[in-house]
Amino acid sequence: MADVTLSPLHRADGSATFTSNGYSVVAAVNGPIEVQRRDELPEEAAIDVAIRPAAGVGGVRERHLESILQSTLRHVILVSAHPRTLIQVTLQIISSTEGSFNVGDLPQATSNLPILPALLQASILALLSTSIPLSMTLTATLVAVDGQRLKSDPSAEELKVASSIHVFAFSSHGNLLVVESEGEFGIETWEEAYQNARLACRGDEENDSESEDVSMDSDNDTKLEDVLRIAVRQKVAREQKWKLDLRSATT
Amino acid sequence: MAIKPSPSDSTSNPVQTLTFPALVFAKLAPTTFLTAHLSSPHGPLRPSGRSPSQVRTPTCHTGSLTHAHGSAVVRCGDTAVVCGVRGEILRAEDIPDYKPQPEEDARRDYEDEQDEQALKITIMAEEEKKLAEIGSGGHNRNSQSPDRGNEDEQGRRKRIRREDSEEMARLGLLVPNLELATGCSPDNLPGGPPSLLAQTLTQRILTLLHTTHLLRMGDLRLWFHPRAPSSTPFKPADEGEDEDLARPSVKAFWALYIDILFISLDGNAFDAAWLSVLAALKDTRLPRAWWDGDRETVLCSDDPSEARVLDLYDMPVALSFGIFEGDGESKGKRWVLVDMDGFEEGQCREGGTVVVGDGGRVVRIEKDGRGMVGVKEVRDLVERAKERRMEWIGVLG
């Protein structure tokens, strides 16, 4: 299950760590801050994403991931609320199941998709920790397909033998934000993977609408949206603690 | 006191309507301009005159670069791209931590290599035979049985293809590099490091080359044949003979440098780049090369008739798209535009690419943005990409 810490870094405006399935990412957000003239957008905030790999310096692989994240976060953050500013998201990969910590051990051509859900989740948590106005939150997950079998949160071995791997990210409104699928698959398999990912991210929506409060204490907290919700609830509780302390002190 | 406009007034002083040419309109209010085109009463039409699902027909020229082993110039509308493939020899001894294949694998590969040559000849012969049979009107009674036998064979081939691309990735034998030439688009300023777009496209092409298992490792290995290759290559080593010399081994590899240069960029960079890569790889002819044991070096034959073409397993067809959301009266209405030009790309806030291989297999779906594309749209786009296949086959020949 995913392990989340909000605001572990003190000097950044907001930060979060996200650990799940062998991938661990720490994210820091600074913003809105002053923007360089050439990056300045007159009507919205510029978003800058920087990804650092677990070992070595970033290369073209990281640039590709950055561009996926950048174009996603542009729609998640209410960029029009902060025109002519910069929101800077820095992500440091702490560990990944690709394992090797030797620089240059990982061929550039290997797929960079498995880390993407963790990067998306960490960045959205850091943005929540920064209290930057967002239009929605998102949840992301990885599905591997091996022949006819679907596997969410696959291990490194399962990824190696998988015939195709899929990353899906859903917004809190239920829209499909990001799709990255590679390998060899039919469109039916893709739809199955989509349903599978949707279930992992957003839970069984039909059940939820029928009985909101029953689902809260059932085993439904395995869905990723609840991980997000619990993390924020804990953060709010911690930040409100002084109020409760004050109240108990006065009585 | 109210002023009553008299009819004579309006005739003498007609209402000044602000008019300007379409180009100025497009610059001033691009979103409105595009919305107006797409919500025209005669059905949605883009400023270029295409319908939303209509692509620009590509044209392709191959073999125009003389210094490259294979090259192609592809043009889609105002997007023009040159791709050159150059094979360089990578010696196994120069590869750090190079582990030669286990002997059995090496033997298998070597035999495959030999079989492949024989197979090509038999396949051609078989096809000719089949054609002759069809021509003579005879039934092919055995049409079912080879398929069943092939299932095992197919699984094996799939595995080999997978291992091939893993090895290519490990050794880094495919090196695509994409460059946006100065002045190819207004956004592209001279000097400075490669832009984010160029780097992203390079990475996307690199991963697509590997995940589609496009190339055969057999084409890229350079063997050392201790004897004449036709005579029993795996005869057990005689006593006293140096064993290393007795068996064929891989001494070097071809590394393919795939350079892609955009001369002009007017949207849809990925599809054009990918088509040019396919065309250039199809055009590539590598000279026959072998390891010379005496000189301890790789020699290449300069006889063009001995040069070999690369075997491409597949021809994955890419289709990029964007989602445009209207403004004004058509707010909330959206159109899926395929093969966008530069102007449309600037107006779309969501986009992606689907890549479809042989037999309708999907090999890549990527998309990012606001979440306006659902399962249904993706399904339609995959269908559209399948249709595009015929067009690409026509272009690539």
Residue A41's alpha-carbon distances to A36, A45, A54, B72, B320, in angstroms, are 10, 6, 32, 38, 26
B168 contact A CB<8A: yes
Task: Say how far residue B371 (Cα) sits from the centre of its chain.
Answer: 27
Closest CB from A173, A184, A194 relative to B361: A184
Long-range contacts of B350-353 (CB under 8 A, 24+ apart): B350/A75, B350/B322, B350/B323, B351/B320, B351/B321, B351/B322, B351/B323, B352/A179, B352/B320, B352/B321, B353/B204, B353/B270, B353/B271, B353/B318, B353/B319, B353/B320, B353/B321
Tokens 């209405």 correspond to what residue?
A: B333
B255 contact A CB<8A: no
ipTM: 0.89
CA dihedral A68, A71, A75, A77 (to 10 degrees): 80
Q: Is B116 exposed, middle or buried (0-12, 13-18, 19+ CB in 10 A)?
A: middle
Q: What is the spatial distance between Cα A210 and Cα A200, in angstroms, rounded to a whole number?
A: 19
- Domain at A187, CATH number: 3.30.230.70
Ranges A159-163, A192-196, B202-206, B269-273: which has the least confidence = A159-163
Top CATH class of B56-136+172-313 equals alpha beta
User: What is the arithmetic mean of pLDDT over A174-202?
Assistant: 92
Please tell me the pTM assigned to this model. 0.86
Kindly provide the b/e burial profile for residues B67-86, where b requires at least 16 CB atoms within 10 angstroms of the residue's own CB.
ebbbbbbbbbbebbbbbbbb
Closest CB from B174, B200, B209 relative to A63: B200
Ranges B109-118, B121-130, B244-253, B291-300: which has the least confidence = B121-130
Q: What is the spatial distance between Cα A85 and Cα A44, in angstroms, rounded to a whole number?
A: 7
B330-372 pLDDT, tens digit per residue, is: 888 889 999 999 999 999 988 999 999 988 889 999 998 788 8
A73-94 pLDDT, tens digit per residue, is: 999 999 999 999 999 999 999 9
Domain B315-397 carries which CATH code? 3.30.230.70
User: What is the arithmetic mean of pLDDT over B136-142?
Assistant: 42
Flag if A190 and B169 touch (Cβ within 8 Å).
Answer: no
Residue B1 has pLDDT above 50, yes or no: no
Domain boundaries, chain B: 56-136+172-313, 315-397
Ranges A162-166, B120-124, B158-162, B352-356: which has the least confidence = B120-124
Q: What is the spatial distance between Cα B263 and Cα B280, in angstroms, rounded to a whole number?
A: 16
The number of folded domains in chain A is 1
User: What is the arithmetic mean of pLDDT over A6-25?
Assistant: 93
Task: Say how far residue A124 (Cα) sits from the centre of its chain.
Answer: 6
Q: Is B379 exposed, middle or buried (0-12, 13-18, 19+ CB in 10 A)?
A: middle
| pLDDT at residue number B227 | 61
Question: A-contacting residues of B 26-45, CB under 8 Å?
Answer: none
Q: How much is the mean pLDDT over chain B?
A: 83
Closest CB from B196, B361, B373 relative to A67: B196
Q: Which of A166-170, A226-230, B214-218, B360-364 has the highest mean pLDDT?
A: A166-170
Q: Which two tokens stand for residue A14?
A: 């907001």
Q: Tell me which residue range forms the domain holding A213.
A: 3-250
B388 contact A CB<8A: no
Q: Do domains B56-136+172-313 and B315-397 have the same CATH topology?
A: yes
Query: A206 falls in which pLDDT band (50, 70, 90)?
Result: low
B24-74 pLDDT, tens digit per residue, is: 989 899 999 999 899 988 889 999 999 999 999 999 999 999 999 999 999
B188-234 pLDDT, tens digit per residue, is: 878 788 889 999 999 999 999 999 999 999 899 998 877 654 444 45
Could you tell me where the beta strands, DSSP code E, fall in B230-356?
Answer: 249-264, 285-286, 289-292, 297-300, 308-309, 317-325, 334-338, 350-356
Q: Is A208 exposed, middle or buried (0-12, 13-18, 19+ CB in 10 A)?
A: middle
Ranges A185-189, B17-21, B310-314: which has the least confidence = B17-21
Flag if A111 and B211 touch (Cβ within 8 Å).
Answer: yes
Query: A219 falls in which pLDDT band (50, 70, 90)?
Result: very low
B90-128 pLDDT, tens digit per residue, is: 999 888 878 777 777 777 777 777 776 666 556 556 655
Ranges A133-137, A234-238, B154-158: which has the least confidence = B154-158
Could you tell me where the beta strands, DSSP code E, fall in A41-193?
Answer: 46-52, 86-95, 138-146, 149-152, 164-171, 176-185
Contacts with B210 from chain A: Cβ below 8 Å: 109-110
Task: Say how far residue B162 (Cα) sits from the centre of its chain.
Answer: 18
Ranges A82-96, A138-152, A219-233: which has the least confidence = A219-233
A36-68 pLDDT, tens digit per residue, is: 998 899 999 999 999 999 888 888 999 999 999
Q: What's the gap in Å between the CA of B38 and the closest CA on chain A? A: 24
B368, B376, B379: which to substitute to probe chain A, counting the most A Cβ within 10 Å?
Answer: B368
Flag if B375 and A177 touch (Cβ within 8 Å).
Answer: no
